[in-house]
């Protein structure tokens, strides 16, 4: 199976998982969303674990938790660092949204939701496919 076949074969699953993360209103600029930020961190950490990363931790900070995952199971291979974020900025003004910002919607083959392009899609992809010990 080549990469394109793999992606197409798992499209619905990946889209559903991305939509789960998009539904978490992890707005870092608003203190009332602190529980959502923490839920977002747990979601990302859980997905790293599910992808086979043996060392995953949620690291508390003075503001928002960070998620750290590593795989040291590919001796002789280069070290790669991925950086992404699972938080978003406020979605206001809400009247400019065609659909609610934390209710992902597919329109004309495109996915819309707060954080879709910056940066929840990359966080989802990285947690699923960056472990070098997986085939």
**Distance of alpha carbon 65 from its chain centroid, rounded?**
14
Q: Which residues contact 103 (CB under 8 A, 6 or more apart)?
A: 23, 113
What share of the chain has pLDDT > 90, as a percent?
Answer: 62
Q: Which residues pair with 111 in a beta bridge?
A: 106
Domains, the chain, ranges and CATH? 3-129 (3.40.630.10)
Closest CA to 47 of 114, 122, 113, 126: 126
Tokens for 26, please give them.
Answer: 């992890």
- Computed on alpha carbons and rounded to an integer, the radius of gyration of the chain in Å comes to 16
pLDDT tens figures, 47-106: 999 988 889 999 999 999 999 998 888 888 887 788 889 999 999 999 999 999 999 999
Q: Is the pLDDT of residue 120 over 60?
A: yes
**For 41-76, b where at least 16 C-beta lie within 10 A, e where not — what string?**
bebbbebbeebebeebeeeeeeebbebebebeeeee
pLDDT reported for residue 57: 96
- Supply the pTM of this predicted model: 0.87
> Is residue 40 pLDDT above 90, yes or no?
yes
Choose the most confident range, by mean pLDDT, from 28-37, 82-91, 125-134: 28-37
pLDDT higher than 60, residue 135:
no
Q: Measured between alpha carbons, how far is 29 from 9 in angstroms, rounded to an integer?
A: 37
């Amino acid at each position: 199976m080549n990469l394109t076949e793999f992606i197409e074969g798992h499209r619905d699953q990946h889209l559903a998982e991305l939509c789960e993360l998009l539904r978490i209103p992890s707005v870092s600029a608003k203190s009332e969303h602190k529980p959502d930020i923490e839920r977002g961190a747990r979601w990302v950490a859980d997905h790293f674990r599910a992808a086979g990363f043996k060392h995953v931790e949620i690291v508390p900070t003075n503001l928002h938790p960070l998620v750290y995952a590593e795989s040291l199971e590919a001796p002789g291979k280069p070290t790669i660092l991925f950086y992404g974020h699972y938080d978003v900025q406020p979605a206001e003004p809400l009247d400019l949204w065609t659909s609610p910002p934390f209710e992902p919607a597919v329109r004309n083959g495109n996915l819309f939701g707060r954080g879709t392009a910056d940066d929840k899609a990359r966080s989802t992809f990285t947690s699923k496919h960056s472990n070098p010990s997986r085939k």
